[in-house]
Structure 1
C-alpha cells in the first residue's frame, strides 16, 4: 500500500481524491491546506462556503491534515505527493517533495518558467524518484489509436488546432471561489494545447518532439491593466513536415470554449472537452467527461510507483512544451520588456 499526501484541495484535489478512493493500492494519508487563507478566498463567489482542510480530510477519508507542508513532507509514512496547489507554487513544492525523497505527481504546469521545469526534472533524476505531470489530454484513450497509427507511419497529422476561451476578468476558479492567485494564459492553459499538439504529431514520442519544430510564432498582447496579465494568445508551431499546431486562447470571451481538432490524411477528430463529445467522419459520440478523464491520472501514477516503471506522462516529456512556451515568453519580453507578471516571477 502506498500512502498519498495531497497538497491543495481545490477542484483537482477533489478529483484526484475521489479517484484514489477507488484505487486499491492507495491510502489517503495526509492533505495539506493553506496556513492562513486570505479573506477573499473564504468569500464564495456564488454563495457557497469553502471547506476547511480539516473538513476536506474528513470528507475524503484522509488520516491526517495539516497546513504545514514541511511537516507533511517529513513524515516517513508518506510515499507519494500530489501537488495541486496554485500554479506559481508547483515548482517550489515539487522540489521540496523530491528532495524529501517522495515520488511526486505535479499538476499542470510543472512550473511557470523553463528554468523551474528543468530544475524539477533534474532533481527527480538525481534523487531517483518518480516524477509525473498531470497532462489530462494525453490520457484521452479516444485519441490513442490515432497516436499509435501516427507512430507506425499509417496516418499523418496535417494540423492540430486547440482553443481555450473563458471569461476571467475576475479571479474566480473552477470551484466558484475567489482566488488569491492569478492564472496565466501562456504558462497554464496554453500548456495543455501545445503539449497535445506536440505529443500527437510525434506519435506519442516526446523525445523527438523538439527536432520536429521548424518555427514558433506568437501573437501575445500587452498586459491588461484591469487584471495585470496578458489576456489573449495565439501560438503557431510549424514542423519540418509542414504540419501546423495552432493554439488560440482568450480570457475575454463570454462564451466558454475548450476543444481540440486534429486533421489527418485519414479523418478529422474533434474533441469538445466541455460537452464530452468526439466528432469524426462517422459522426458524434460521447467520450468521458473532463473529470472522468482526469481521474485516470493519479491511479496510474500510483500503479507506476508500485510497479517501478515510468509514469504515462513522465516529467522529462513535458520539457519540449515548456521550451516552446519559453520561446513565446522571450518574444513577448523582447517586445514589451521583461517584467513581473502575477503568478510568474522574472528569472
Structure 2
C-alpha cells in the first residue's frame, strides 16, 4: 500500500518560493495543496504558474486545517520568527527559510518551542546540502583534506530595495542575519565547532534602507582554522556566494553545486543543494527523526551572529 501524499502549505510567493516549487516537483508523494500569499494578485499569478489549487491570505486560518501536514515558510525575513512560532503551535512540520529569526532572543524562543514539540522543525541552511560543501566536509572528516582558511565572498547589488527578480521589495534584506548566516553556519558545521571566535566590522548604513551595505567578518575555530567573510550589497556582479577552500593538499573553489580544484578542473559530484535540502525535510517527516539543519542545530550560529552584531555596534559607537 502506497504512502499517503504529504500535503504542504507554502507561505510566500517570491523568488525563493519558486525555487522550492521547482525542486518539490522532483520529490515523489509531495503535494503543495495551498499557498498563503502576502499580495493577492502576486499570489494568484504564482499559484497559476505552479498549479497550486488554492490561495489564501490568512495563515492562521490555513493552519487550523487537518488536511495540511507541513509548512514551508518562504516569507520575508522579519516575519519568520513569529510565523514559525504559530506553525509549531498549530502542530505542523516546518521548513523555515533562512534566517530563522533576526535576533538571538527570537531564535531562542522559537527553538524552545520546536524542542518542546514532536514536529520536524528545520531551517533552510542550503549550504549544508550543496554537494561541494558536503564533499569537503567528508574529506575533512576522513583526514583527506586539511583546511587552513575558508574565504567566503557574498555579493549582491541592493542599492534599491529590489528582490531577486529586480522587482520592488516590501521589506529590507539583512546582510548579517541573512547572508552572513549562511557562511557562519557553514564554517561551524564543516568543522563541528559551534562556537568559533568571531570579529567583524561594517560599513556605513544606506541613507534610505537603514542597513549596512558592506561587512568584513573573521572567524577562527578552536583548532586555529580561519574564515574570512567579505559581504557587499554594493557589488555589480557576479552575484551569489563564492567559497575558496585553502587547504594543505589543494585549493578548491565552490559555487552553488559546482566544485573546481586550483587548476580549474571540475570535481565530479552528484546532487543538488535545494533538492537535497527539501528531500531531507520530507524524509525526516516520513521517518520520524530529527533533520539535518534542525532548529536546535542552527541555534549556535545565531549566537555567533548576535556576538558579531553587538561587537559591530560597539565599534561604531
CA contact (8 A) 1:142 1:287 kept: no
1:222, distance to aligned residue in structure 2 (A)? 3.5
The number of residues matched between the two structures is: 312
In the alignment, which residue of structure 2 is the partner of 1:78?
68
List aligned pairs for 1:245-264, cutoff 5 A. 245-257=227-239, 258-264=241-247
Q: Aligned to 1:284, what secondary structure does the other structure show?
A: coil
C-alpha distance in 1 between matches for 2:232 and 2:133: 25
SS in 2 for 1:253: coil
| Equivalent residue in structure 1 for 2:24, among 20, 27, 30 | 20
Give the CA deviation at 1:295: 2.9
Cα drift, residue 31 of structure 1: 0.5
Residue 182 of structure 2: aligned partner: 192
Counterpart contact for 1:35–1:68, Cα < 8 Å: no
In structure 2, the CA distance between the partners of 1:126 and 1:79, relative to structure 1 (3 Å rule), is: same
Distance 2:56 2:154 in 1: 35
CA deviations on 1:227-267 (whole Å, 9 max, x unpaired) are 21111111101222111011111111223343011112222
Deviation string for 1:41-72 (max 9, x for gaps)? xxxxxxxxxx6322322332323210111111
TM-score of the aligned structures, taking structure 2 as reference length: 0.91
**Conserved in 2, the CA contact under 8 Å of 1:167 and 1:256?**
no
What TM-score do you get using the length of structure 1 for normalisation? 0.84
Structure 1 residue 334 displacement after superposition: 2.2
Is residue 2:264 matched to residue 1:280?
A: no
The corresponding residue for 2:37 is 33
Distance 2:68 2:99 in 1: 23
Q: Distance in 2 between matches of 1:287 and 1:329?
A: 38
Partner residue in 2 for 1:10: 14
Summarize deviations over 1:183-224 as a string: whole Å, max 9, x none: 11101111111111221122xxxxx422xx2x3110113322
> Superposition RMSD on alpha carbons, in Å?
2.2
Unmatched 5+ residue regions in structure 1? 37-50, 203-207, 338-347
Of 296-305 and 183-192, more deviation after overlay is shown by 296-305
Partner residue in 2 for 1:101: 91
After TM superposition, give the deviation of residue 286 of structure 1 in Å.
7.6
- Structure 2's unaligned 5+ residue stretches are none
Residue 110 of structure 2 corresponds to: 120
* SS across alignment from 2:209: coil
Deviation at residue 122 of structure 1 after TM alignment: 1.1
* Contact map agreement 2:131 2:269 (CA 8 A) in 1: no
Distance 1:56 1:288, change over 3 A: farther
Q: Is the 8 A contact 1:277 1:284 kept in 2?
A: no
Deviation at 1:287, TM superposition (A): 7.6
The separation in 2 between residues aligned to 1:145 and 1:177, in whole angstroms, is: 35
Name the structure 1 match of 2:273: 293
**Matched residue SS, 1:237:** strand
- In structure 2, how many angstroms separate the alpha carbons of the residues matched to 1:21 and 1:309? 23
